Amino acid sequence: MRRLAQVEGWLSRVQDVEGQVQELISESHEEVEKQCLAGLCSKNYLSSYMVGRRVFKTLQVVENLRGEGDFKDVAQHQPVPKNQVDERPVAPTVVGLESTLDKVWRSLMEEQVGIVGLYGMGGVGKTTLLTLINNKFLDSPNNFDFVVWIVVSKDLQLEKIQDGIAKKIGLFDGSWNGKKIEERADKIFKKMRNKKFVLLLDDIWEPIDLAHQVGLPVPRRKSTSTKIVFTTREFEVCGQMDAHKSFKLECLDYEDAWKLFEEKVGRDILDGHPDIPGLAETVTKECGGLPLAIITVGRAMASRKTPREWEHAIDVLRSSASKFSGMEKRVYSRLKFSYDFLPSEATRFCLLYCSLFSEDYSIRIEDLIDCLICEGLLDEYDGSRARNEGHSIIRTLVHACMLEEEEGNNVKMHDVIRDMALWIASTLDKEKEKFLVLAGVGLTEAPGIGMWTEVTRMSLMQNSIRNLRESPASPRLLTLFLTSNELENVNNDFFQSMASLRVLELSRNSRLPDLPLGIPSLVPLQRLDLSMTNIESLPIELRHLVNLKCLNLEHTRCLSRIPPQVISNLKMLRVLRLFGCGSEMRQKVDSILYGGREALVEELLGLEHLNVLTISLHSFRAFERFLSSPKLQNANIPSLVLKYCYSLNSLSVVSLASLKHLQTLHLTNIYWQEFQIDYSEEVKQIRESRGFHSLQKVYISGSKFRHVTWLILAPNLKHLQISCCKDLEEIINGEKMGQVPAEAMVNLNPFARLEYLILEGLENLKSICDSSALPFPHHLKKVSVQGCPKLKKPPQQRFGTLEE
């Protein structure tokens, strides 16, 4: 601590007065000796007067000093000595890190935070942020003895870390290099155990045992004497390093990206031609907000003065970004470290596989896992183990900041990461793998047959291809993505020379009226995705696809005919997606979709390997038969539709709760008033068995329910939509809630995770829950109420701070 300047001045004046007082005391003894008549009279009146006058003035000065000495603060923290923190160079203008720096710094200064992790993809600015933190200690009022900066890097060397610390704290002498790691650790610990220090570790790739391997006293929570900040590309490392707080560095938003790009290019270039600013904005967007890419591209464009040069740059960045000046050397080579460090070949393959999807495409995790299974990546596993392994691989890529999480159980690939993956794919051994990715590039025709010959994986998704007229010879082709095109006509022989094809994606081709005739001949095919097409019929020949593991027919609304014995003959099926299949079908007697779909359920019973099923059932008999099969009941049923169940007066909630993996439930045109449930007995039973624990979305329409109180048993419900239910009077019935035993109510918080509540056309709805206020969460994103004239305005305490 250091005294404040005004306190120093005050103390100085006090010391002066103390000297004057000592002189006066000394002179007062002399004056006493001069007095006569028993001390009543002075022998020298003038001398006594002068002493008395000085005493009076001194007392006034003392009194004033007492008043001035009432300080609120007397000292301040002394800045770290300049020789204990080394200033590190940083760009004169740092864009987009100011707010993050402020959040990290405030967290770092909190008493309960000792270890802080900064993570994010390569080139996002982690080292720059750590440098700003280092330099902030130069002027910050914190009494640390040392601020130590160590670059760790991919090849972890404990000796290098110990050397850096030893040099900073004065242990690096002639005998240091001859000591073993354990001896060095002991020396460092003895030196640092009573010191206050900050350790900044840049670029950690794997956890480091700082206490035992390095010798540092590691801070616990509530530490003011020791702080550790590290950067890493892996979120998992933050947990392995026991970080008390972790911060993810995101890519720049467009405004900050433009500022950085403008700084690197220079206003002279941008103002040199009226067309360049608009082109420059396009170039900036191609960098995806990644600072490393923005800086590299910006520097390369700093000498480009004509619009044609800028147009050419855009073409290169969109078609083959690796050929852009500096991208391979300065950007992709650095990002490739993350790819190389991934824990397995399966994880690396998954990342490359994601590059087949279009730029900015939102990839459904379940679809991606289906593909990985059919590509043979998870062949050693079966059932839920295979899917769990698939989820683990994807989570590893998310934690490595090479995939980004999106809402709705989806992931997305950052543009620059995708370009890097395509660059890596182009360097693979052509004898084993050859990628051809022309996704989202505006094609109206398929590539010429000469381009198909050696390709193993091809993506033509999100184009405008209408016709596939030629018959390319592609004997090595394993994967073909034709998703989101405008296919109308496919040559009958188009698939004739694709004898190795395993994965065929035809989804989102709304113009496709029929299944191409050549597909049933693709015997090795393992995944066929026809979702969101308008095909009306499946041919009987489809039964020949005996190796098919995944068949996706979701949202094929016009599909009215699936001949008997087609589904049941696909003995290897593991995944069958029928959610929304045939929702607008014309009834055909020779289809297993006819009636309530009892015939469909019977065929499903013969599929021994089936473990994922989404389905729409239109009768109670079909649902009853479905639940009577332990095999189907134990399968992973993520989506279920119950529709037009005429022959049923009610349904037991316990039956629904037995579907442990159910995530999405549609109840359409149900003609009973409430589900069967004994609230005094079965609520506890369902909670103990974790029934409805996976349920996240519920859609109810056109049904006669008077209330849906059973939804209190879905703890993870995020989306609730109820429409056109004329008999519905309340969402939660207070009387039914009152029947639930107290022990079953423990930690029961209805709608605790709800994000969307949509109520439409409920003409008799009077309340959400009349008897008690439901504590709707603060993260509720949307409440939409339309056509509910009797609904009272919900009290504010029920919806928190949500605005109407």
pLDDT per position as a tens digit, 474-515: 999 999 999 999 999 999 899 999 999 999 999 999 999 889
**How much is the average pLDDT of 563-574?**
93
Indicate the average pLDDT of the chain. Answer: 86
Q: What is the DSSP letter of 212?
A: I
Give the pLDDT confidence score for residue 647 in this predicted structure. Answer: 54
**How much is the average pLDDT of 645-657?**
71
**How much is the average pLDDT of 4-16?**
80
H helices of 512-619, where? 598-604
Summarised one tens digit per residue, pLDDT across range 570-600 is 999 999 999 888 876 555 567 888 777 888 9
User: CA 391, CA 397: separation in Å to the nearest integer?
Assistant: 10
Give the pLDDT confidence score for residue 140 in this predicted structure. Answer: 74
Res 324 pLDDT > 70? yes
E runs forming strands in 396-505: 404-406, 410-412, 435-437, 457-459, 467-468, 479-481, 489-490, 503-505
Residue 337, classified by CB atoms within 10 Å of its CB into exposed (0-12), middle (13-18) or buried (19+), is: middle
User: CA 691, CA 713: separation in Å to the nearest integer?
Assistant: 8
Res 767 pLDDT > 90? no
Res 802 pLDDT > 60? no
Q: Are 600 and 633 in contact (CB under 8 A)?
A: no
Res 73 pLDDT > 90? no
Topology classification of domain 329-426: Arc Repressor Mutant, subunit A (1.10.10)
E runs forming strands in 61-138: 75-76, 115-119
Query: Closest Cα to residue 538, out of 576, 595, 483?
Result: 576
Res 770 pLDDT > 80? no
Summarised one tens digit per residue, pLDDT across range 327-341 is 898 899 989 999 999
H helices of 642-681, where? 653-657
Give the pLDDT confidence score for residue 141 in this predicted structure. Answer: 66
**How much is the average pLDDT of 641-658?**
73
User: CA 3, CA 74: separation in Å to the nearest integer?
Assistant: 6
Summarised one tens digit per residue, pLDDT across range 247-275 is 999 999 999 999 999 999 999 999 999 99
Q: What band does 37 get if pLDDT is binned at 50, 70 and 90?
A: very low
Q: Are 60 and 209 in contact (CB under 8 A)?
A: no
% of the chain with per-residue pLDDT over 70: 91
Q: Are 545 and 522 in contact (CB under 8 A)?
A: yes
Give the pLDDT confidence score for residue 44 in this predicted structure. Answer: 58
Strand bridging mode 197-204 / 457-459: unpaired
Res 48 pLDDT > 80? no
Strand bridging mode 41-42 / 664-668: unpaired
Give the pLDDT confidence score for residue 312 in this predicted structure. Answer: 94
Res 32 pLDDT > 80? no
Give the pLDDT confidence score for residue 795 in this predicted structure. Answer: 44
Give the pLDDT confidence score for residue 463 in this predicted structure. Answer: 96
Give the pLDDT confidence score for residue 91 in this predicted structure. Answer: 76
User: CA 390, CA 370: separation in Å to the nearest integer?
Assistant: 9
User: CA 421, CA 411: separation in Å to the nearest integer?
Assistant: 16
Q: What band does 151 get if pLDDT is binned at 50, 70 and 90?
A: very high
**How much is the average pLDDT of 97-125?**
90
The helix (H) or strand (E) run that includes residue 783 is strand 782-786
Give the pLDDT confidence score for residue 262 in this predicted structure. Answer: 92
Q: What band does 443 get if pLDDT is binned at 50, 70 and 90?
A: very high
User: CA 698, CA 757: separation in Å to the nearest integer?
Assistant: 10
User: CA 299, CA 330: separation in Å to the nearest integer?
Assistant: 12
Q: What band does 205 get if pLDDT is binned at 50, 70 and 90?
A: very high
Locus of tokens 């370009």: 419
For the record, the structure tokens of 706 come out as 């008077």
Give the pLDDT confidence score for residue 142 in this predicted structure. Answer: 67
Query: What is the domain partition of the chain in residue ranges?
Result: 2-76, 82-248, 254-319, 329-426, 649-804
Summarised one tens digit per residue, pLDDT across range 685-719 is 888 888 888 999 999 998 888 888 888 889 889 99
Helix, strand or coil, per DSSP, at residue 641: strand
Q: What is the pTM of this model?
A: 0.80
Length of the chain: 804
Which class in CATH covers the domain with range 82-248? alpha beta
Name residue 335's amino acid: L
CATH architecture of the domain covering 649-804:
Alpha-Beta Horseshoe (3.80)
**How much is the average pLDDT of 740-768?**
85
Give the pLDDT confidence score for residue 392 in this predicted structure. Answer: 93
330: left (phi over 0), alpha (psi -120 to 50) or beta: alpha
Give the pLDDT confidence score for residue 14 in this predicted structure. Answer: 85
The helix (H) or strand (E) run that includes residue 199 is strand 197-204
Give the pLDDT confidence score for residue 95 in this predicted structure. Answer: 87
